[in-house]
Amino acid sequence: MHRQTLAALSRGLAERRHSSVELTRHFLDRIAAHDPGLNSFITVTTESALTSAAEADKRRSAGEAGPLLGLPLAHKDIFCTTGVRTSCGSRMLDNFVSPYESAVTARLAAAGMVMLGKTNMDEFAMGSSNETSFYGPVKNPWDTTRVPGGSSGGSAAAVAARLAPAATGTDTGGSIRQPAALCNLTGIKPTYGRVSRWGMIAYASSLDQGGPMAQTAEDCALLLSAMSGHDPRDSTSLAEPVPDYTATLGDGLQGLRIGLPKQFFGAGLDAGTERCVREAIAVLEKLGARVIDVDLPNLDLSVPAYYVIAPAEASSNLSRYDGVRFGHRCANPQDLTDLYERSRSEGFGAEVKRRILVGTYALSAGYYDAYYLKAQQVRRLIRDDFVRAFRDVDVIAGPVSPTTAFRLGEKTSDPLAMYLADIYTLAVNLAGVPGMSVPCGFDGGLPVGLQLIGNYFSEGKLLNVAHRYQQETGWHTRIPEAYA
């Protein structure tokens, strides 16, 4: 059962080939058997999963027939889930049992999906390798000496090893797309405002966006249709109507204009990765697409702009973790300052502290104009680059990550090298446009991801392009041997 896509499992449920309880039990068993070697879950919710599965089966017997009814999935531990620990990968929230439910998990639960558990992640989503988690690093199922990417590394590893048929992730600077690429998954970061952020623990509010990570574009379309939509509790959520993303998956690609920015194929890009990406583009051309050169002149500024804006917002977003109302509190505080200092120094890990300090500095009196304001101006330039490019093309294509999965520990001592690995993903968040990662080959036995970027609200088009590509290729169907 675990070799099937979400869509196939959905058909199986509809045709009564398996029940939700059977499916759920199967994946729970796989988690028990395989996760000790991967560390992709922080919390496995065995009991409540079986209860929800039984509930879903009952709903189906009563005549309900939604496409997601009874399908299991895993949630990144950044989404608040009622009565379940929601740690955000941090010691700070190790004891935090959420009293409420996030919009994303609530929508999927309402559609009848069954939560298997909460997946590991970089602490507060700050990282590109899943090595900053308080719960230890996640291993890449394709090579357990390597990172799965981050920050949604647990979700990526869990789906890659088929411990869950699909998972949710969040993407602030590539945190869905990069782990999807490194683990051979299909993942999409929607337009900013497409998916409600209510109950999604904030890292950098103006960049954070939730989205699905799955085996195929079709599975992503199913999930995204259910996750999206206006939410009055999130002022940045958009009132734009949500199309059925599965309806346009099969559209032809004749005349599709694909933009190739030269900035995506410059120095720093691994030859093997470049080869896979160019081959994928050739496949799309064969399907009728036309390739056009585009220019994103400010792309190289996305790393410095992101690493000012995201930490600045984070420094403020993480102020609420003060040991007063919830979360970690140090033992026997002497006074208020001691309570703050020790609770926060014990509760946060090194990377989180680094970004809080960077962000605090960037917002300080006397530096605000030079850093935060300047970064916002750069952000506007980057956005304008995309707006200009999308006058001439329908999608932009390129790599997700400059390399395949790197070794655990390889970049932990060099944050700058780690930050530079995000060069192709950050601009998409800064501009707020949708972007996705699609498996497009292997280099040295490790998966490579093709990035597709679209104009605002063009998720349907991206999923359509990815789906047509996946009908021509088999990369996305590959499963690491040990987990087949």
Query: Which residues are marked as active site?
Result: 76, 151, 175
Nearest distance, CB of residue 195 and other proteins, angstroms: 13
- Residue 320 as a binder of other proteins (CB under 8 A): the answer is yes
- The backbone region for 114, taken as left when phi is positive above 0, alpha when psi lies in -120 to 50, beta otherwise, is beta
Of 46-75, binders to other proteins (CB under 8 A) are none
Among 364, 384, 392, 477, binds other proteins (CB under 8 A): 364
Q: Which is nearer to other proteins, 148 or 323 (CB)?
A: 323
Using CB under 8 A, which of 291, 363, 420, 479 touches other proteins? 363
**The residue to which tokens 């998972």 are assigned:** 167
- Smallest gap from Cβ 180 to other proteins, in A, equals 23
Query: Which residue is listed with tokens 């531990």?
Result: 77
* Residue 90 or 216 having the CB closest to other proteins: 90
| Residue entry with tokens 């970690």 | 328
Q: Which span (13-21, 192-200, 389-397, 464-472) binds other proteins, by CB under 8 A? A: 192-200
Residue count of the chain: 484
Among 247, 282, 324, 482, binds other proteins (CB under 8 A): 324
Between the two ends of the chain, the Cα-to-Cα distance in Å is 11
Q: Given candidates 274, 322, 410, 443, which one binds other proteins under the rule CB under 8 A?
A: 322
Residue from 237, 217, 221 nearest 229 by CA: 237
Shortest separation between residue 277's beta carbon and other proteins, angstroms: 32
Q: Before 151, cis peptide (omega within 30)?
A: yes
Asked if 422 touches other proteins (CB under 8 A), the answer is no
* Stretch of 6-14, 33-41, 44-52, 358-366 contacting other proteins, by CB under 8 A: 358-366
Q: How far apart are CA 84 and CA 44, in angstroms?
A: 10
Site for other proteins in 367-406 (CB under 8 A): 368, 372
β-strands 72-76, 41-44: how paired?
A: unpaired
φ and ψ at 76, to 5 degrees? Answer: -60, 140
- Total of residues contacting other proteins (CB under 8 A): 43
Q: Is 409 in the site for other proteins (CB under 8 A)?
A: no
What is the maximal distance between C-alpha atoms in the chain? 70
Q: Does 365 bind other proteins (CB under 8 A)?
A: yes
Range in contact with other proteins (rule: CB under 8 A) among 291-299, 308-316, 397-405, 443-451: 308-316
Nearest partner of 236 among 257, 212, 206, 263, judged by Cα: 206
Nearest 5°: the CA angle 327, 331, 332 is: 125
- Contact yes or no for 456/182 (Cβ under 8 A): no
- Tokens found for residue 214: 């799955």
455 binds other proteins (CB under 8 A): no
Residue 42 binds other proteins, judged by CB under 8 A: no
8 A C-beta contact, residue 142 and residue 399 = no
By beta-carbon proximity to other proteins, the closer residue of 162 and 379 is: 379
Cα Rg for the chain, rounded, in angstroms? 21
The distance of closest approach from Cβ of residue 65 to other proteins in the complex, given in angstroms and rounded to an integer, is 32
Which CB atom, from 215 or from 237, has the smaller least distance to other proteins?
237
CB of 198 vs other proteins, minimal distance in Å:
6
- Torsion, Cα of 448, 453, 458, 460 (10° steps): -10
How many CB atoms within 10 Å of residue 2? 17
**Residue 314 is a binding residue for other proteins (CB under 8 A):** no
Which residues ranging from 126 to 145 are in contact with other proteins (CB under 8 A)?
Answer: none
Q: How far apart are CA 308 and CA 166, in angstroms?
A: 32
Q: Which of residues 95-114 bind other proteins (CB under 8 A)?
A: 96, 98-100, 102
Among 235, 254, 332, 413, which residue interacts with other proteins (rule: CB under 8 A)? 235
CA dihedral (429, 169, 94, 31) in degrees, to 10, reads: -160
3-class secondary structure, 306:
helix
Please tell me whether residue 205 binds other proteins under the rule CB under 8 A. Answer: yes
- What is the contact surface with other proteins in residues (CB under 8 A)? 79-80, 86, 88, 93, 96, 98-100, 102, 197-202, 204-206, 232-236, 312-313, 315-316, 318-320, 322, 324-326, 336, 340, 360, 363-365, 368, 372
